[in-house]
Amino acid sequence: MDVGLSILMGLQATALFLIFVSLQNLDFTLLSLPFLYASLVSLLVSLASHPSINIPTLLCKKQDGTFPIWSLIIFSPYLYLVRIFSFLRRFTSGEEPYNEICEGVYIGGWPYSVDKLPPGNPAIIDCTCEFPRKEEFKGHSYLCLATWDTRAPQPGEIESAVKWASRKRAQNVPVFIHCAYGHGRSVAVMCALLVALGVVEDWKKAELFIRERRPYISMNSVQYKALEEWSKHRLSTSSIDEVSSSSAVPSTSSGRPRAGRPKNRSG
C-alpha cells in the first residue's frame, strides 16, 4: 500500500511537535503555539489522506474550485505550505508547465497564472484538493475531481471525467487535465481518456504514450489500482451493453407465422 502523503505529513507533524516541545522547555510559550497548531493540522491531513481513510473533502474545496474563508484559515499551515513548495519545485525543475499529449488534449501542473494554461480557452479538469482555481480562469469550463496528492480519483470519478472530456472534444474544445505537477493524479485520468478517445488500446499503453511527451510522469500503486478497476468496470459495462443490444434484436423464429410449404399440384 502506497501511503505517500500520509507518511510525509506524519513526519512533518512529528517534527513540528518536537519544535513546540523544545520551545516550551525554553519558556518561549507564545512562540511555540503556532508550531503546535501546525503540528495538529499536519496530523489531521496525515490521517485523512491515508489510503484506508481517504477523505479529500476535509479541506472543503468546492465544485467551482474555491475554498471557503474559514477553510483557508484553519488549514493555512498545509494549504499555503504546498503552494510555496509547488512554486519552488517548479521553478527549479525546469519542466514545461504543460504538454500536448494528442490533438487538443493537454496535461500539466497547477496553472497558477495565465501563461501556465494551454492555448485555446481549454476546459479544465482539476485533480487537486489542495490548490484553488484561479480567478482569471472563471470563464473556462471546469470539472473538479478533488483528490489528495499521491492518491487517485475513484474509478467512477475517472469515468465521469472521461465522459465530460469526451463531450468537450466532440465540441472541438481543448481539454487540460492537471494536478500539482502533472505527474500522477492527472496522468491516471489522462490514461483513461486516451483509451476512451481511441488513441491507444489500454491504459498501460496510454502511460507509455504520455511518457513520450511528458517524461517525468510517475504513477504509483494506488493510481495503477484505480485505473485497473476503471478498466474492468468499463469492460464489464461494455459486455452488458452488448448483451442488451443483442437481446433487443427480434428473433426470426418467434412472433411470426411459419410459411406453409407449397402443395404439389399435378398437371
Quickly state the pLDDT bin for 240 (edges 50, 70, 90): low
Let me know if residue 251 belongs to a domain: no
d(CA 130, CA 48): 13
What mean pLDDT comes out for the span 195-220? 97
Radius of gyration in angstroms for the set of CA atoms belonging to the chain, rounded to a whole number: 26
What is the pLDDT, as a whole number, of residue 265? 43
User: Which single residue is written with the C-alpha cell 487538443?
Assistant: 104
- In a shared domain, residues 133 and 220: yes
Q: Which residue segment(s) compose the domain that 29 sits in?
A: 4-53
Let me know if residue 60 belongs to a domain: no
Let me know if residue 58 belongs to a domain: no
Cβ-contact 2, 220 below 8 angstroms:
yes
- In a shared domain, residues 181 and 233: yes
Q: At residue 83, does pLDDT exceed 60?
A: yes
Question: Phi/psi at 100 (nearest 5 deg)?
Answer: -85, 120
Cβ-contact 6, 51 below 8 angstroms:
yes
Please state the domain count of the chain: 2
What is the pLDDT, as a whole number, of residue 152? 96
What's the CATH code of the domain at 136? 3.90.190.10
Secondary structure class of 99 (helix, strand, coil): strand
Share of the chain above pLDDT 90, in %: 84
Q: At residue 175, does pLDDT exceed 50?
A: yes
Q: What is the pLDDT of residues 102-141, one digit of tens each?
A: 999 999 999 999 999 999 999 999 999 999 999 999 999 9
Let me know if residue 258 belongs to a domain: no
- In a shared domain, residues 88 and 205: yes
